[in-house]
Structure 1
């Protein structure tokens, strides 16, 4: 089980940096477990969720949800 704590971020740049670090840590963990494949971050399409270009806490929530969806899909594969 993995626990993820939600913290709203103030900009897409801060969010992107955190997500890159998170995916690096996750990939390192996968490598240590000898699991197949490579885990990469796919940028969220905020327009799909009706979100504007002005970054808000909702953008952060979408990124967290997308990340968790990708993690669950990777574990099931």
Structure 2
């Protein structure tokens, strides 16, 4: 059995686990870096970061959605 070597992106193994749908993400679409960090934190259950961002950020759009239409909830 041959093993396929996977090159991990800048965010590491979690995005490699997501599967092929992540390949279709267009980084230039409407998400700001702050919103992307917020959605990633919510997806992986990093509650302290989500809470801190909600309490401290004046510009965070907490209703933002990723390229698949998923929000933080």
Fold shared by both chains (TM-score > 0.5) = no
Of structures 1 and 2, the larger Rg is shown by: 2
